[in-house]
Amino acid sequence: MVSKYIIVCSLLKIRIRTNNMARRTLDKAHKSKNDEFYTQYEDVEREVNAYLDYNPHIFKRRVVLCPCDDTESSSFTKYFAQNFEKLGLKKLICTSYEKTGLRGRLVTLESDENNSGRIDIEDIKLQYLEGDGDFRSEEVKK
């Protein structure tokens, strides 16, 4: 049986070749745990296209879960929201971790909320989690 869920938190394992200045910037982002900085939209698109080349229906009627550092700046959130209909997704769920002890965010996308005639990033619904949004928490795993 094929799972109806696809978890994309570790979808990309990309080695980035850069000059020394860019490498230092990436290293600084890595040390500060700013994952959203070095997972670029183009990288997500390239990797998803590789999956689609292998199986054009891999995302059809699936729920995609993206645990993110920040749902607003996440390239994963943006890509899957903007390509929701093209990929044939059933639902997009993105959570964000709030390391300051506040409540994490939960964004979902599954229908045309603004009646524009298409499901896209403008239809995202924002809620807050009870906990901090850690991807290991029961709240995110359920």
Report mean pLDDT in 10-residue bins for the chain, 142 residues: 47 36 51 58 89 90 85 88 94 84 84 92 87 72 68
Q: What is the pLDDT of residue 29?
A: 53
Distance CA 73, CA 101 (A): 20
Q: Enter the pTM of the model.
A: 0.73
pLDDT at 106: 85
What was the pLDDT predicted at 24? Answer: 53
Distance CA 133, CA 72 (A): 14
Distance CA 132, CA 126 (A): 15
Q: What is the pLDDT of residue 110?
A: 93
Task: Please answer whether residues 134 and 104 qualify as being in contact, where contact means their C-beta atoms are separated by less than 8 angstroms.
Answer: yes
Asked whether 74 and 67 are in contact (CB, 8 A), the reply is no
